[in-house]
Amino acid sequence: MSRRIPRASDVDDSPAEDPDLIDDRDPPVEDDPADSFVAENYYRSRQRKESALADLRQLEVLRRAGELVPVAEVAALWTRRIQAARSALLALPSRVRAACAGVDEGVIRAIDSELRAILVMVSDDWRGD
């Protein structure tokens, strides 16, 4: 059985007559303000999305580099440090009393009162009161 080898003359170069094969794009439409508005909103939304994704990628890079830490971790660290400082300040009057025998008890109470007032002020500032 012999096969025929196709020749260039066998190929039809004329455009297809079938309308489904010609072009499936919609014909150009006249400018409609509603279409323009929708397209503009679409592109703005897409730009916001891309910008947000870029921000997320940058945050992930910083986190992996150790330059970004969770808020809870920082808050826990500062809570421990502030509690230690508060305890040390509240212990100061007792330490002064023990170290300086013979100091008037009124001075010790004044130191204690001032330290407590400072701690209340700092606490109110921290809370935004």
What three-state secondary structure class fits 5? coil
Distance, CA of 58 to CA of 52 (rounded, Å): 10
Distance, CA of 101 to CA of 107 (rounded, Å): 12
In tens, the pLDDT along 110-129 reads: 999 999 999 999 888 776 65
Alpha carbon 2 to chain centroid distance?
A: 72
Q: What does pTM read for this prediction?
A: 0.51
The residue behind tokens 């004329």 is 14
Distance, CA of 119 to CA of 89 (rounded, Å): 9
In tens, the pLDDT along 65-87 reads: 989 888 999 999 999 999 999 99
Distance, CA of 106 to CA of 98 (rounded, Å): 15
